[in-house]
Structure 1
Amino acid sequence: MGRADAQRSRQREARREQGRGGRIRRLFTWRKLLGALFVFCLLAMGGFYAVYLLVPVPSANAEAELQSNVYRYSDGSILARTGKINRSIVGLDKIPDPVEKAFVAAENKTFYEDSGVDFKGTARGVVNTITGKGKQGGSTITQQYVKNYYLDQSQTVTRKLKELVISLKVDQRKSKEEILAGYLNTSYYGRGAYGIQAAAQAYYGVDAGKLTVEQGAYLAALLQAPSQYDWTSASPSGRKLVTQRWNYVLDNMVEERWLDPAERAGMDFPEPQSPRPAPGMEGQTGYLVAAANQELIRQGVAEEDITAGGWTITLHVDKKRQKELVEAVDKQLESRLDREDDEVDAAVQAGATSVDPKTGHVVALYGGVGATEHWTSNATRRDYQPASTFKPLVFAAALENRSRTQDGRRIGVNTVYDGTSRRPVRGGATYFAPQNEDDRSYGPVTVQRAMNKSINSVFAQMIVDVGPAEVKKTALALGMRDVDGFVESPAMSLGTMNASTWDMAGVYATLDNHGKRVTPSIVKSAEHRDRTAQLADPIGPQVVSRRTADTVTSVLTGVVRNGSGQAAGTPAYQAAGKTGTSENNKSAWFAGYTPELTTVVALFGEDAQKGTQTTLTGTAGMGRANGGGFPARIWADYTLDALGGGSDARFDLDVTEIGDGGPQPSASPSESTTPSAPPSDEPDEPTTGPSSSAPVRTPSTPAPPSSPTPPTQSPSSSPSSSPDPGGSGDPGTDPGTDVGLTDDKASRP
């Protein structure tokens, strides 16, 4: 009985399960599911139709009629107005048919057949927006035109749905030709150019009707990322990406039979011309506006937002000091040049950046003869070497790292090195034997004198003593950029990397500011009708100790008083600075500061026709245009005026050694290239003060072999006789090829 009862129980349970399954199957039959899906589709279609009826085609949006930007000096007076619509509407009849096809091939190959909407791409875009993945998702040319002309650039579900509905209506009401023309004329191409006519002028200097297929393909490729794909400013990866997209456009044209394969095979990438300023950017205005825009972009403001207009941008630039800087360049340099008939003079470019070291504010900037004549800003360009203006950074690294010479002596102001020209460095991983200016040998010299005379052999050895990696680390901390050519080697002591006057002004302002990092800032405020740009503080943390920075400053005062920077000196103010002249005299620098103002001035030799660097030798009919000449005189003229005729301010230095270019070792190059006394034990800290009576320290390395013998110096050129006039002691990395520039008055009629 028990076994039979259990079997009957299992059978009853099975029947109940079958009943439940039957009810579920009866409830969810395929007919009912299909019906439910049909109803849902009807409801969705009804809802979309309702939206379609309710959403009208609006009038043009605000961004279709761009506003201007207003740029102001620090006192609120207007510097410039920019941003008025850089657009000229052109019809398709003015645009070559292959160029039109290039844009269709780039963005929407089915444009001529579709209904104006890519439902799949729009759905993907909506999902990406909801899930926070940003701007992913495809759009047709019609949709992009609707977004540009009727809507805005926001990434919301509501905006995307509106775009979908309006695109369908626009496709019904307008011809494909009208839509394509609207798209080409409203798209943003970078460089402030809206529309294909402005873009053709901005990138190739021609009207849209004269664009080639190759040029049209580049402009079509550019639309995906105008800033990133601008060839003249793109990174290597940006150039690679835009080249790939350019090829993609042309290959699509071949696929659609809009371009002959044989013609395609013979096409080369059409590099665009360098950017040119819009009208109204004459003189220094264009440089100042460009520097402000670049800073805002670095601070996170999109280039498109700046170009769209509506900003009031106030600069730190002092209107009076800006005028004084321009006048100093005109008086000390431009008035002496014959740009029309002299090939050397025509190639001279000047640049300068002036910074308040306590605030980091850029108070004046000189970008060149004028933004409409020479668009590249000589103040911010980074394609020339800063040369010997890098030497103070080598010394700063030595102090900061408490470095020692090869024979164990602590490096300081009065440490003695061997200043023999072409002396191979000791202890380095590679052979390096730099030549001093005019191949001049100095024998034993203190660091102070080596800085005064900018002796290459001393700082090449010092960088090995400190370690190239440590020197580079200190230089980057002080504000230099890690650019191409910044190689960790003894040659780095000669400033063989690239830098701008803007960069070097930040570095020297950091020294002036007792080692607290100064990042130059030209933008005081940037306000839009609906937001304010958030700007970083130009003053950063302590990057080297105050004692290190102040000791370097004390040494650089000697350069101005008794060294290569004497042309910058005057009793009207206290100054510190360093000259620099690069290989083959292609650039000449003076970087200097007072307690209240840091300014870097540079000259660059630029052959505009060939796009190459050229020598400055022979500038204004003179000899070698080194840093102690024109740059130092421009610096002095400007600084005197910028300080109101002078200043009683003095450097507040926290130092144990005071460098001022005072007494030096008695040995002169004409007497010996080796120490006059045998090596002696030295304390950890070097002797302090230029008047120290301590015995002359030995060079950090033994003297080189006697052959070749350094040239004997005449009494008049001995370093113990008198300082060089006007910067004749400033060497370049190839000084033997140029004639030293002496005092300007003595060299000119």
Structure 2
Amino acid sequence: MLGFVAAAVVCGVLVAGAVTPVVALSGLAVSNSIAYFEGFPDYLAITPLSQKSNIYAVKDDGSPVLLASFYDQNRIEVGWDQVAQFVKDAAISGEDPRYYEHNGIDAQGTLRAVAMTVLGDQIQGGSSIAQQYVKNVRVQACEREATQAEQTTCYDNVTATSASRKLKEMRLALGLEKRYTKDQVLLGYLNIAGFGGTVYGIEAAANYYYNTTAAGLTLAQSASLMAIVNNPVKFQLDQPDSFTNGTANGYAANRARRDYILGQMLRYGKITQQQHDEAVATPVEPQIHEPSTGCQTAGSSAYFCDYVSNLLRTDPTFGPDAATRMLNFRRGGYNVYTSLDLDLQDAATNAIAANVPQSYPGWDVGAVVSSVQVGTGRVLAMVQNKQYSQDPAVTANNPDYTAINYNTDYDQGGSGGFQPGSGYKVFTLAEWLKEGHSLNERVDSKPKANWGTFQDSCLGPQNYNSEHWSPKNDAGETGANYTALQSTVQSINTGYIGMAKKLDLCGIRKTAEAFGMHRADGTPLVQSASAVIGINEVAPLSMAVAFAGIANNGTTCSPIAIDKIVNADGTEMPVPKSTCTQSVSPDVAAAMHYALQMVMTSGTATTSWFGTSPRVPLIGKTGTTDGNKDTWMNGASTKVATVAAVVSVSGEANQRAIYLDSGQAATARHRIWPAVMSVANAKYGGDAFTTLPPSTALRPTG
């Protein structure tokens, strides 16, 4: 009690009166009280407020489309002119009627609170708006502590019901009003105040409770919201309290406080009698508008959103460690503008929905599309056949839902990747051409059980004499002397193994890595002879990046998904940049173009070729794994690369024996890929590939 009396002494001195009565109650010397008060700092470090961050796609006309928001505190800071005058008047009338008359401490209010405390046994309020602002700033600072324990300790200290805390807030309030104008302090208070739950600040409160802005609030709404600030639990508007108090009005507690504020506004001349009466007669009727939060609100773009949020969490551009990065994002008020092309995204969403179900009896089916812009690495589309959920109870019991992003690596979405089958042959083709071999060169392509020794400059020679490894060809081809071009166009496994016999397995692996290829689980690429025909589990996005590199005359650009980030203060932040590297020479890429265009026009990908309209020059390569478990269509124009795959997420399934509503499961890739690339071709066009390889690439040999 003596501490609260000391607070009263300080207030009394500040207003040059009203000291003697309370001093007599305590026996404290005024000089000692003032000395104690003066010992507190008068400077309050105001750190940026926690604000929600948003992830957007951008339409062709430049307008943003919100995918999802993330926040610890749902807050949107606004300026003075963005807040209705009713709100400002309600705040002052209800919380601090003499706000524009005192210097940060309402001495009369504090003295009255002390007197009530002395006469009763409850600690009274009496804090000015400046003091409440100080308290909120100190609480906000606690939330930036590194650990939960540190946050709790800090919070307990700054909210403790003690004279020491009150005196410190008084001192800081005085210092605050020396540095800032009354309007600045009031606006700060309205932006920082809690309105129940995770809703902070008047703009977010207006959005959440009334689906309007702080500028658009009516008189009754303004008073109702400012009622919440006084006691967010007691006066909340999230749910009616009629079930507990038995009143006809479902928000009786809020209404009583609201009407008190309206009465105060009338008393101090802020509103007319008519305005008061009309507002009092207005029912308390909130229109709760839940803000989007988390990627589950992004609909069919949820997995792309998840990919972006993982980039924000893992890229060192955004902080020194994952916890700091995500904290910065959830509290920093970032507006993240992504590379997503909504037209391609919609095309991919519709194509998958039309051809592959979210679940299938006896088959853990997955379907994916990843599209990448050639030459920039910008991710244009990312879709899969599941609904997104982070709730384990949902994903455990419903095969239509998953939190795993099948398009990306394990550390970007939880997927271990899938075997690409013959799509992986393009890296052996690149190494073949790099080493000076011709597309018309013939190799021993006869199926056999003993393939002998393969050269490996990294691991040493690999012997396949005793392993009884006898890969077959998809269509049962038995030719013994295929050219490299024939093996590519018809996807002859044994032809490619014969090509690998003349190469260095380590060199093939390094060439694959040069195109950005890596295992989705983060382990090193396998470089065995069997790896030539696609046993490494990789992410569909990685394959799309590689085909974009082939289309880009051999220059591969790492994927990026963020075009721009605007901070809460309107400044742009640095974002990760794509790194482009020359994977193979333009001449090698030109020879690859020659072969991979023939795959489209007369090889295993003709169904996709003829299904695409408008038709521009395209390169492509199909892939089918053992037992038809996974089926891929990989390809690109000179503008966009797209990978469409239907995969077995777990277990085994023969897609050639499964018929979906749209047709055979094994051919669904050829219905999905053209639908996406038709939109890409119409929007981005496509130029002629460089298809005149050096004469050595087509010379007849062998």
TM-score range, shorter chain: 0.5 to 0.7
The answer (yes or no) to whether the contact 2:56–2:336 under 8 Å persists in 1 is: yes
Aligned to 1:417: 443
Aligned to 1:329: 352
Deviations 1:624-658 (A, max 9, x none): 744xx22132111221222228956311345125x
Q: Secondary structure at the match of 1:509?
A: helix
d(CA) in 1 for partners of 2:659, 2:442? 38
d(CA) in 1 for partners of 2:480, 2:367? 36
Q: Kindly state the Cα deviation for residue 456 of structure 1 after the two structures are TM-superposed.
A: 1.3
2:70 to 37, 58, 83: 83
The answer (yes or no) to whether the contact 1:351–1:379 under 8 Å persists in 2 is: yes
Q: Secondary structure at the match of 2:367?
A: strand
Pairing 1:500-515 to 2, within 5 Å after superposition: 500-515=539-554
Aligned to 1:405: none
Q: Does residue 1:656 correspond to 2:694, yes or no? A: yes
Aligned to 1:316: 339
Q: Kindly state the Cα deviation for residue 446 of structure 1 after the two structures are TM-superposed.
A: 0.9
**Cα gap change, 1:534 to 1:687, in 2 (>3 Å):** same
Q: Kindly state the Cα deviation for residue 500 of structure 1 after the two structures are TM-superposed.
A: 1.1
Aligned to 1:562: 602
**Cα gap change, 1:606 to 1:367, in 2 (>3 Å):** same
**Cα gap change, 1:561 to 1:59, in 2 (>3 Å):** closer
Q: Using the aligned pairs only, state the percent identity.
A: 19
Name the amino acid aligned to 2:405. Answer: S
Q: Kindly state the Cα deviation for residue 394 of structure 1 after the two structures are TM-superposed.
A: 0.7
Q: Does residue 1:543 correspond to 2:583, yes or no? A: yes
Q: Kindly state the Cα deviation for residue 329 of structure 1 after the two structures are TM-superposed.
A: 2.3
2:668 to 630, 639, 642: 630
Q: Secondary structure at the match of 1:634?
A: helix
**Cα gap change, 1:625 to 1:418, in 2 (>3 Å):** farther
Name the amino acid aligned to 2:498. Answer: Q
Moved more, 145-154 or 642-651: 145-154
The answer (yes or no) to whether the contact 1:485–1:496 under 8 Å persists in 2 is: no
Aligned to 1:378: 406
The answer (yes or no) to whether the contact 2:489–2:603 under 8 Å persists in 1 is: yes
The answer (yes or no) to whether the contact 2:335–2:567 under 8 Å persists in 1 is: yes
**Cα gap change, 1:53 to 1:645, in 2 (>3 Å):** closer
Q: Kindly state the Cα deviation for residue 491 of structure 1 after the two structures are TM-superposed.
A: 1.0
The answer (yes or no) to whether the contact 1:546–1:654 under 8 Å persists in 2 is: no
Moved more, 350-359 or 437-446: 437-446
Aligned to 1:358: 375
Q: Does residue 1:469 correspond to 2:469, yes or no? A: no
Q: Kindly state the Cα deviation for residue 614 of structure 1 after the two structures are TM-superposed.
A: 4.8
The answer (yes or no) to whether the contact 1:286–1:371 under 8 Å persists in 2 is: yes
The answer (yes or no) to whether the contact 2:296–2:388 under 8 Å persists in 1 is: no
d(CA) in 2 for partners of 1:618, 1:73? 41
Aligned to 2:431: 397
Name the amino acid aligned to 1:494. Answer: I
Q: Does residue 1:499 correspond to 2:538, yes or no? A: yes
Deviations 1:55-102 (A, max 9, x none): 699999833xx4242423253331323114489xxxxxxxxxxxxxxx
Moved more, 66-75 or 316-325: 66-75
d(CA) in 2 for partners of 1:584, 1:624? 15
Deviations 1:20-66 (A, max 9, x none): xxxxxxxxxxxxxxxxxxxxxxxxxxxx9889722699999833xx4
d(CA) in 1 for partners of 2:690, 2:588? 13
Q: TM-score, normalised by structure 2?
A: 0.55
Aligned to 2:233: none
How many aligned positions are there?
A: 437
d(CA) in 2 for partners of 1:491, 1:467? 13
Q: Kindly state the Cα deviation for residue 168 of structure 1 after the two structures are TM-superposed.
A: 5.5
**Cα gap change, 1:537 to 1:61, in 2 (>3 Å):** closer
Q: Kindly state the Cα deviation for residue 453 of structure 1 after the two structures are TM-superposed.
A: 1.8
Q: TM-score, normalised by structure 1?
A: 0.52
d(CA) in 1 for partners of 2:339, 2:383? 14
Q: Does residue 1:303 correspond to 2:359, yes or no? A: no
1:593 to 624, 632, 636: 636
Aligned to 2:224: none
**Cα gap change, 1:167 to 1:451, in 2 (>3 Å):** same
Q: Secondary structure at the match of 2:344?
A: helix
5+ unaligned residues in a row in structure 2: which ranges?
A: 1-34, 75-135, 164-196, 199-292, 319-324, 390-400, 409-414, 455-461
Moved more, 572-581 or 646-655: 646-655
RMSD, matched Cα: 3.9
Aligned to 1:574: 617
d(CA) in 1 for partners of 2:352, 2:38? 65
**Cα gap change, 1:57 to 1:546, in 2 (>3 Å):** closer
The answer (yes or no) to whether the contact 2:442–2:482 under 8 Å persists in 1 is: yes
**Cα gap change, 1:591 to 1:322, in 2 (>3 Å):** same
Moved more, 322-331 or 449-458: 322-331
Q: Does residue 1:584 correspond to 2:571, yes or no? A: no
The answer (yes or no) to whether the contact 2:484–2:499 under 8 Å persists in 1 is: no
The answer (yes or no) to whether the contact 2:590–2:693 under 8 Å persists in 1 is: yes
Aligned to 2:463: 430
Q: Kindly state the Cα deviation for residue 412 of structure 1 after the two structures are TM-superposed.
A: 1.7
1:72 to 57, 81, 85: 57
Name the amino acid aligned to 2:402. Answer: H
Name the amino acid aligned to 1:286. Answer: A
Q: Kindly state the Cα deviation for residue 565 of structure 1 after the two structures are TM-superposed.
A: 0.7
**Cα gap change, 1:532 to 1:53, in 2 (>3 Å):** same
The answer (yes or no) to whether the contact 1:516–1:539 under 8 Å persists in 2 is: no
**Cα gap change, 1:57 to 1:436, in 2 (>3 Å):** same
d(CA) in 2 for partners of 1:439, 1:496? 20
The answer (yes or no) to whether the contact 1:573–1:646 under 8 Å persists in 2 is: no
d(CA) in 2 for partners of 1:616, 1:568? 18
The answer (yes or no) to whether the contact 2:57–2:342 under 8 Å persists in 1 is: no
d(CA) in 1 for partners of 2:333, 2:310? 17
d(CA) in 1 for partners of 2:297, 2:158? 42
Q: Secondary structure at the match of 1:638?
A: helix
Q: Secondary structure at the match of 1:578?
A: strand
The answer (yes or no) to whether the contact 2:623–2:632 under 8 Å persists in 1 is: yes
d(CA) in 2 for partners of 1:686, 1:278? 52
Aligned to 1:150: 141
Aligned to 2:129: none
Deviations 1:378-429 (A, max 9, x none): 22244211111110111101222x1xxxxxxx52211112322235334322
d(CA) in 2 for partners of 1:278, 1:166? 27
5+ unaligned residues in a row in structure 1: which ranges?
A: 1-47, 88-144, 156-160, 175-184, 187-276, 403-409, 658-684, 689-693, 699-749
The answer (yes or no) to whether the contact 1:68–1:83 under 8 Å persists in 2 is: yes
**Cα gap change, 1:593 to 1:70, in 2 (>3 Å):** closer
**Cα gap change, 1:561 to 1:303, in 2 (>3 Å):** same
Q: Secondary structure at the match of 2:368?
A: strand
d(CA) in 1 for partners of 2:368, 2:423? 15
d(CA) in 2 for partners of 1:385, 1:312? 37
d(CA) in 1 for partners of 2:664, 2:311? 35
Q: Kindly state the Cα deviation for residue 548 of structure 1 after the two structures are TM-superposed.
A: 1.2
d(CA) in 2 for partners of 1:296, 1:605? 29
The answer (yes or no) to whether the contact 1:368–1:374 under 8 Å persists in 2 is: no
d(CA) in 2 for partners of 1:502, 1:492? 19
Aligned to 1:605: 648
**Cα gap change, 1:151 to 1:565, in 2 (>3 Å):** same
Q: Secondary structure at the match of 2:340?
A: coil
